[in-house]
């Protein structure tokens, strides 16, 4: 197939490229009360718990919508109305949690580190010691804004030491980077179908400590986002409260077959790590610079600084790459001009090498002689 006939490869943080098997799982209509569908749903929830070693301590609550819906729902359900949150911010998704708390009218403070700097464990320790009113710590596992990996094990250890609750947005890491609730004790970890687990968009899930959810009745301000209600209804009837995203669930279950066949978190993580290394090495050879040092780079999405060469224009670069069959992602940094290339999804070495060839051809076509960023 030529690139014009083939769908472009999505080098994005989700929705991302899914396999043909996953897409084929959607070629059927299910009744929402169908017993086979209920069984798929129950199996899916069990499998998601197992990924985090959470079968004994946590329950899996699923929810319709994009990732933000499950983040907002978990926060609204678990943080009591008189709770106080400390949000660790180093990018747009941490900022979004603060915005959610503002909407919810829940008290909060935040600690901000620059977009290229992991959250500060020492400061967290001091803040929790100094303010006994803080009930919840909120952290982003992989900050998709930059691709930065936050030290969630250390955050969890400090939070547990001070006997506060931890909520982890692991949206863009879950399934590719290890997160076991025994080594990262937390009340909730949230993710969605369409990131590292390589399903299609339309639902999220939260793994919630059973004891915390049992105490959460009446916290939520919203019926559709009340995960306590969603959980108790699903336990009782095996069904979703409101119209379930049937096709998304079927595709997700099929995507998990492939995830398990690939060796789970270990297998998926190592494919993404290989993708990341191939991509970064190839881009550096052309003169591009990454925002992050390799030690804090998660193998999910990589931020490259925009070349200083005036012939470089992101929209032109994007369009020409898309013509060659590869879709990249704009930058989201507030501090520097940048763009992002994802290495997650149903992609391997062939596709990453193809993307590098496309980048090389594109910068030549644009007449960009030097891919180095300005001395910012």
Ligand X SMILES: *Cc1c(COP(=O)(O)O)cnc(C)c1O
199 interacts with ligand X by CB under 6 A:
no
Residue 181 φ then ψ, to 5°:
-65, -10
Closer to ligand X at the Cβ: 176 or 368?
176
How far apart, in Å, are the Cα atoms of 35 and each of 112, 232, 238, 239, 330? 48, 19, 9, 10, 43
Q: Does residue 13 touch ligand X according to CB under 6 A?
A: yes
Cα Dmax for the chain: 64
171 contributes a contact to ligand X by CB under 6 A: yes
Q: Using the 8-state DSSP alphabet, how is residue 343 labeled? A: -
User: Can you tell me which of 49, 71, 188, 328 binds ligand X, judged by CB under 6 A?
Assistant: 71
Rounded Cα gap, residues 235 and 100, in angstroms: 28
Instruction: Return the number of the residue (158 or 171) whose C-beta is nearest ligand X.
Output: 171
CB of 170 to ligand X, least distance (A): 8
Q: Which of 346, 333, 359 is nearest to 279 (CA)?
A: 359
Stretch that binds ligand X, among 35-43, 61-69, 227-235, 246-254 (CB under 6 A): 61-69
CB nearer ligand X, residue 126 or residue 222:
222
Q: ω before 150 within 30° of 0 (cis)?
A: no
Query: Taking CB under 6 A as the rule, does residue 144 contact ligand X?
Result: yes
Residue 75 interacting with ligand X (CB under 6 A): no
Q: Which SS3 state, helix, strand or coil, does residue 248 take?
A: helix
Residue 158 found at the interface with ligand X (CB under 6 A): no
Q: Does 169 bind ligand X (CB under 6 A)?
A: yes
With CB under 6 A, what is the number of residues at the site for ligand X? 13
Q: What is the DSSP letter of 177?
A: B
Select from 208, 142, 198, 210 the least CA-distant residue to 171: 142
* Per-residue interface string for the shown chain with ligand X, residues 81-120, x marking contact by CB under 6 A: ------------x---------------------------
User: Where on the chain is the footprint of ligand X (CB under 6 A)?
Assistant: 13-14, 66-68, 71, 93, 140, 144, 169, 171-172, 192
């Amino acid at each position: 197939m030529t690139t014009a006939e083939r769908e472009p490869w999505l080098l994005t943080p989700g929705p991302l490229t899914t396999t043909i098997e996953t897409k084929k799982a959607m070629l059927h209509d299910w009744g929402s009360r169908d017993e086979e569908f209920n069984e798929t749903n129950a199996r899916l929830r069990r499998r998601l718990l197992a990924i985090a070693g959470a079968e004994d301590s946590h329950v899996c609550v699923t929810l319709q919508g994009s990732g933000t819906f499950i983040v907002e729902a978990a926060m609204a359900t678990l943080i009591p109305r008189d709770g106080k949150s400390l949000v660790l911010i180093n990018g747009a998704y941490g900022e979004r949690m603060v915005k959610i708390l503002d909407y919810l009218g829940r008290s909060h403070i935040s600690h901000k580190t620059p977009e290229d700097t992991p959250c500060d464990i020492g400061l967290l320790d001091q803040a929790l010691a100094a303010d006994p009113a803080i009930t919840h710590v909120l952290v982003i596992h992989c900050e998709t804004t930059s691709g930065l990996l936050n030290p969630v094990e250390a955050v969890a250890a400090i939070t547990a030491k001070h006997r506060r609750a931890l909520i982890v947005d692991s949206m863009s890491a879950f399934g590719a980077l290890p997160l076991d609730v025994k080594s990262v004790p937390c009340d909730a970890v949230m993710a969605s179908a369409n990131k590292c687990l390589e399903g299609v968009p339309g639902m999220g899930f939260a793994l919630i400590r059973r004891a915390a959810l049992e105490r959460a009745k009446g916290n939520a301000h919203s019926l559709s986002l009340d995960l306590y209600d969603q959980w108790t209804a699903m336990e009782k009837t095996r069904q979703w409260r409101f119209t379930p995203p049937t096709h998304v669930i079927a595709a997700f279950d099929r995507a998990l077959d492939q995830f398990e066949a690939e060796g789970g978190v270990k297998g998926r993580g190592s494919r993404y790590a290989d993708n990341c290394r191939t991509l970064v090495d190839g881009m550096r050879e052309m003169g591009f610079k990454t925002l992050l040092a390799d030690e804090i780079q998660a193998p999910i999405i990589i931020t490259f600084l925009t070349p200083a060469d005036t012939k470089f224009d992101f929209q032109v670069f994007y369009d020409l790459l898309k013509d060659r069959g590869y879709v990249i992602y704009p930058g989201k940094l507030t501090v520097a001009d940048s763009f992002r290339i994802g290495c997650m999804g149903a992609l391997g070495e062939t596709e990453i090498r193809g993307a590098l060839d496309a980048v090389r051809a594109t910068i030549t076509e644009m007449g960009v002689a030097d891919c180095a960023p300005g001395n910012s």
